[in-house]
Structure formats: structure tokens, C-alpha cells
């Protein structure tokens, strides 16, 4: 945190030093003197809201089995969140044409193609890891301590420990500070949100927040009917997609065939009688309307399918009361397009800042790299002094031609694979 503020201040032409002679700071707190061009120097006290020591890690077997159960939903959440963020970035970058907006979102189709391969490899490697004592210890620690935090949160096991501890810290700091800014990273951002909606804070900064996926996972735990409905959609959609796509393709092929027959025999040019012209025009018209009515029927079928699914899911969903609440203050959200944890919608009142994406070799640690980037520090300073007090042009990711091409190819490949899967599934039906 201190390093991010320092890098942000230096990139703005300012400086950050550790304050000297401070005697009234809480134990474990760090006090910084922040100087910025054309701004009054400010003193910032950083308090650590760490809560790990308050809870015991859950059994790694319980977490691992839960991971396997929620894997399909995690893939869906990643895809949905990624599409939302890509469309948001395209809009902020001035890409207003619908085709230019949606093409990069096709890259999301790589997720269901790549994710199963990774899952299969992980399942194959798991026995080998468990046999090796050293690797087994590391793997169990990762599953139990890191992913186990999410398991405990969705199980409401942090309400009386982590959330209560952070709330107590915020209320204590409130009594001795001019302004309170709550900063949270990953699941800490979601815990910070839970605290900020019930306490008096001035600003919130969520860094790589897991609010969207964690909120859905909490809802699914309370809504077993939604889980059944989602699995039903997951298992039936390939067949529905195959039926609709095959019908549309056959209709289009029929229309092309009618068009070819309509103009057949007209080369080399010859005199055509009015009656023949009328017959050819009628055949073309009948072919077109057959295709149009068939297409409308398939579209109506899809709309009914998704409409019924959405209605059932909404009716069965039992979301926690706090899930859609936002703090009564300014909220800044820091994201990266390559961080799957932070993807997803944000509140209309939030101001969103994107950090530059790391090099491809470092994508695997994108979620923990936020505080290494000056853009994060700039946003933290924005929260301290206000956006109008500093010269800061927010970073907007640029999606180049290659991303558009990859998106188109990935969408096409996914459509073909989905059609092939659905067609195979239909052959297994007894009717």
C-alpha cells in the first residue's frame, strides 16, 4: 500500500516520506507525508486490517470438492464479467459501432475452450502432487488458505470474525481522523464493502475486487433451485443451439437454392416472357418468406427458452440482503482486464480505473500485481485529494486489431463446437 502511494505520487511529480516524530499513531500503523504539485501536503496514516489470524483454514478436502462443484459456474462468471468489462472498455475508448464493440468480446469464448483442458490436466497432476510430500504441503496450503478464504466467506464464516474485526478498526480510526478511506484488495474489497455499508467512511477504493463472483457464489449457496436451473440450462443449451442453427442453415441453404433456380437458364441472355418472369419472381418470393418465417420462429423459440430460464432463475434466487448495497460515499474501483477475479459489473456511481496489463509472462500473477503499478497509486491519491487536484489522465486499455481477429475466430470456433456437441447430444435422445 505504501509502495503504491509512493509510486503514484512520484509519477505525478510529488514525493512520499515516512513521517518523523509521530507518537500518537496506533501500533502497527504507518504514517506517510505526501507532497504533490499544487496541493497542500497531507499526512496519511495506514492501518492494517489483516484478519487471517482470526480464523483457522478450512479442511483442504472440503475446499477442493467445492472447487470441483463450482467450476462450471466459475467459468460462466468469468465469461460474463469479461464481456461486461470489454464492452465497457470499448465504450470508454470511443468504439461506438456495435460490431467493433462486440468482436473483442468474442475472445471470451476461449475460456470454455481452455478451461476444461486446464481442469483435466489439474486432475491428472493432482495424484502426483499428493504423493510428493513437499508438493502436497504446498498444494494443500494454497487450497486451504488462499481459496479457502472464498469458501469461508460464501459460507458466512467470516461475519463474526473478519468483518467484525475490520468494522471495529474502521470505527476506531473514525474517532481520530479527519477522513477515513477504506481500501480493500480481492476478497478484502468485498469485506470492506460489507463494512462500509454499515459504518461512516468518506471514500472506498476497491482493488481487484471479488464482489461479483463472491456475491454470486453466496447466492448459489442459498439457492439450491438456481443451481438445478443453471445445470438444466448448461445441459440443454447445446441441443437448443444445434436445433436453431441447423434450422437457420437449412433455411438459408433453401433460399440460396431458390435464388439459383430463379436465375437458372438466363445465361446466355435471351428473351424472357412476362409469364416466366412472374413465375420466377413468385418462386423467389415464396423462398424468401419461407426463410423469414422460419427464422422468426427460431428466434422466437430462443427468446422463449431464455425468457423461461431467466424467469425461473430470478424467482428461485435468494441473494443475501447486503449483496446489492453500496456504501454511501464515493467508490473507486481499480481493475485489470487480465484479472479474472475483478471482472464484472460495477455500480453506476462508481468511478472505474484500469491499470495497464502486465506482460504476457506475468499474467498469472496479475491479481496480486496491482500495488506494483503507479496507476493504482494515482487512484489512491485521487481518493485522498480529489480528481480535480491532480493532473491524472486515467488509463484506458486499447484492444488492437489482433484482439478483434482472435475474438471473431474464437466466437466462430465456439459456435462450431457447440453445434457439434448439441448435434451429438441429439443423437442420444430416444425420440
Question: What average pLDDT does the chain have?
Answer: 87
**At 170, is the pLDDT very low, low, confident or very high (cuts 50, 70, 90)?**
very high
SS3 4: helix
Per-residue pLDDT at 360 exceeds 70: yes
Name the burial class of residue 194, with classes exposed (0-12), middle (13-18) and buried (19+) by CB atoms within 10 angstroms of its CB. buried
How close are the terminal C-alpha atoms of the chain, in Å? 62
Kindly report the pTM of this predicted structure: 0.86
Q: Which whole-number Å values give the CA distances from 34 to 9, 240, 353, in the listed order?
A: 8, 59, 21
Cell of 167: 468494522
Q: Which three cell numbers stand for residue 46?
A: 495506514
pLDDT, one tens digit per residue, over 77-120 is 888 999 999 988 888 888 777 777 788 888 888 888 777 777 78
Maximum mean pLDDT: which of 98-112, 263-277, 333-347, 389-403: 333-347
> What CA–CA distance (Å, rounded) separates 424 from 34?
64
Given a cut of 80, whether residue 262 has pLDDT beyond it is no
Give me the torsion for CA of 58, 61, 63, 64, rounded to 10°.
Answer: 160
Instruction: Collect all residues with Cβ–Cβ distance below 8 Å to 346 and sequence separation of at least 6.
Output: 333, 352
Q: Which residues contact 262 (CB under 8 A, 6 or more apart)?
A: 280, 281, 283, 284, 287
Q: What is the C-alpha separation between 128 and 139, in angstroms, rounded?
A: 11
> Would you say 103 and 404 are in contact if contact means Cβ atoms under 8 Å apart?
yes
Q: In the predicted model, is pLDDT for residue 431 greater than 90?
A: no
Q: What is the mean pLDDT of residues 259-282?
A: 73
pLDDT of residue 327: 93
The pair phi, psi for residue 252, each rounded to 5°, is: -65, -40
Q: Which residues, 6 or more positions from 171, have their beta carbon under 8 angstroms from its beta carbon?
A: 199
Question: What pLDDT score was predicted for residue 5?
Answer: 93
pLDDT exceeds cutoff 70 at 25:
no
In the structure, what pLDDT confidence band is assigned to residue 23 with cuts at 50, 70 and 90?
A: low
Q: E-strand spans in 36-151?
A: 42-46
Can the peptide bond before residue 195 be classed as cis, meaning omega within 30 degrees of 0? no
Single out the residue of 86, 90, 69, 89 nearest to residue 78, CA to CA: 86
CB distance 223 to 320 below 8 Å: no
Amino acid at each position: 500500500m505504501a509502495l503504491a502511494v509512493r509510486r503514484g505520487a512520484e509519477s505525478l511529480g510529488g514525493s512520499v516520506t515516512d513521517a518523523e516524530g509521530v507518537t500518537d499513531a496506533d501500533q502497527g500503523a504507518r504514517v506517510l507525508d505526501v507532497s504533490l504539485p499544487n496541493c497542500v501536503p497531507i499526512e496519511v496514516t495506514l492501518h492494517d486490517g489483516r484478519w487471517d489470524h482470526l480464523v483457522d483454514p478450512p479442511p483442504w478436502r472440503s475446499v477442493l470438492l467445492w472447487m470441483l462443484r463450482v467450476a462450471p459456474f466459475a467459468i460462466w462468471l468469468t465469461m460474463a464479467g469479461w464481456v461486461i468489462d470489454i464492452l465497457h472498455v470499448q465504450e470508454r475508448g470511443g468504439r461506438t459501432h456495435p460490431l467493433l464493440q462486440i468482436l473483442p468480446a468474442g475472445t471470451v469464448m476461449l475460456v470454455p475452450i481452455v478451461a476444461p483442458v486446464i481442469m483435466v490436466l489439474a486432475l491428472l497432476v493432482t495424484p502426483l502432487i499428493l504423493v510428493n510430500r513437499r508438493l502436497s504441503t504446498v498444494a494443500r496450503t494454497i487450497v486451504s488458505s488462499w481459496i479457502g478464504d472464498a469458501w469461508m466467506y460464501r459460507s458466512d464464516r467470516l461475519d463474526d470474525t473478519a468483518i467484525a474485526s475490520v468494522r471495529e478498526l474502521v470505527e476506531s480510526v473514525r474517532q481520530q481522523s479527519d477522513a477515513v478511506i477504506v481500501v480493500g484488495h480481492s476478497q478484502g474489497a468485498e469485506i470492506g464493502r460489507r463494512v462500509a455499508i454499515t459504518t461512516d467512511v468518506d471514500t472506498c477504493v476497491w482493488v481487484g475486487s471479488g464482489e461479483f463472483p463472491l456475491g454470486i457464489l453466496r447466492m448459489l449457496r442459498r439457492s439450491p433451485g438456481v443451481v438445478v436451473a443453471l445445470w438444466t440450462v448448461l445441459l440443454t443449451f447445446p441441443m437448443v443451439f444445434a436445433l436453431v442453427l441447423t434450422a437457420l442453415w437449412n433455411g438459408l441453404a433453401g433460399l440460396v437454392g431458390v435464388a439459383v433456380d430463379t436465375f437458372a437458364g438466363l445465361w446466355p441472355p435471351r428473351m424472357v416472357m412476362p409469364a416466366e418472369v412472374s413465375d420466377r419472381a413468385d418462386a423467389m418470393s415464396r423462398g424468401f418468406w419461407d426463410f423469414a418465417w422460419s427464422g422468426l420462429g427460431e428466434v422466437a423459440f430462443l427468446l422463449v427458452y431464455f425468457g423461461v430460464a431467466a424467469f425461473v432463475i430470478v424467482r428461485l434466487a435468494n441473494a443475501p440482503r447486503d449483496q446489492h448495497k453500496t456504501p454511501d460515499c464515493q467508490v473507486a474501483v481499480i481493475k485489470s482486464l487480465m484479472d479474472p477475479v475483478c471482472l464484472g459489473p460495477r455500480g453506476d456511481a462508481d468511478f472505474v480505473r484500469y491499470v495497464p496489463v502486465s506482460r504476457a509472462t506475468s499474467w498469472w500473477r496479475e491479481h496480486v500485481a496491482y500495488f506494483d503499478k503507479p496507476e493504482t497509486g494515482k487512484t489512491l491519491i485521487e481518493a485522498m485529494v480529489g480528481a480535480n487536484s491532480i493532473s491524472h489522465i486515467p488509463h484506458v486499455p486499447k484492444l488492437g486489431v489482433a484482439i478483434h481477429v482472435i475474438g471473431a475466430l474464437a466466437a466462430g470456433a465456439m459456435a462450431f463446437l457447440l453445434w457439434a456437441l448439441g448435434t451429438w447430444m441429439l443423437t442420444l435422445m430416444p425420440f
